C-alpha cells in the first residue's frame, strides 16, 4: 500500500524486478528528446535511456534544425528522428514528438 502523504519514489531496484512478461498488456512507453545541435551529448543521453531502469518501446529524437551531427548520432543509437523544417523551438519539438509517437505514456528529456 502506498502512503499518499509521503513522497513517492522508485529506485533502480524497483525496476529491476520488472520482466518483459510483467509488461504484457501494459501501456507502451516512449521517450522523446527535443534536440538542437546536441551532437556532443545526444549519444550519451540515448545510451542512458536504452540502459535505463525501465523498458522503452519508442525512442524519438526531434531534430530542431541542427547544423551538426545530431541526426546521424541519434540514428546510430537506435532513435527514430523527426526533423523540423526550420527552427521551431522546444515547444514545437515537443509537439512534433507527440505527433510522431503512438505510445500511451510519454517521457520528455531535455
Tens-place pLDDT, residues 62-95: 999 999 999 999 999 999 999 998 889 999 999 9
Domain assignment present for 7: no
Q: Biggest alpha carbon distance in the chain?
A: 50
Residue 11 lies in a domain: no
Using CB atoms within 10 Å of the CB of residue 56, give its burial: 0 to 12 exposed, 13 to 18 middle, 19+ buried: middle
**Domain for residue 56, yes or no?**
yes
Question: Does 5 reside within a domain?
Answer: no
Identify the pLDDT of residue 55.
85
101 belongs to a structural domain:
yes
> Which pTM was predicted?
0.77
pLDDT at 21 over 50: no
The whole-chain average pLDDT of the chain stands at: 84
Q: Which domain holds residue 103?
A: 32-108
What's the average model confidence in pLDDT over 16-37? 74
Going by the DSSP 8-state scheme, the letter that residue 56 receives in this structure is -
Domain membership flag for residue 13: no
- The number of domains in the chain is 1
Specify if 91 maps to a domain. yes
Q: Cα(75)–Cα(81) distance, rounded to whole angstroms?
A: 7
* Higher pLDDT, residue 61 or 53: 61
Amino acid at each position: 500500500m502506498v502512503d499518499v502523504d509521503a513522497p513517492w519514489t522508485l529506485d533502480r531496484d524497483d525496476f529491476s524486478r520488472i520482466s518483459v512478461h510483467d509488461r504484457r498488456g501494459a501501456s507502451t512507453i516512449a521517450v522523446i528528446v527535443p534536440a538542437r545541435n546536441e551532437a556532443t551529448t545526444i549519444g550519451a543521453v540515448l545510451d542512458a535511456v536504452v540502459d535505463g531502469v525501465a523498458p522503452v518501446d519508442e525512442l524519438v529524437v526531434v531534430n530542431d534544425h541542427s547544423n551538426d551531427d545530431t541526426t546521424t548520432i541519434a540514428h546510430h543509437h537506435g532513435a527514430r528522428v523527426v526533423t523540423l523544417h526550420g527552427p521551431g523551438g522546444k515547444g514545437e519539438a515537443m509537439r512534433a514528438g507527440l505527433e510522431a509517437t503512438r505510445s500511451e505514456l510519454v517521457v520528455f528529456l531535455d
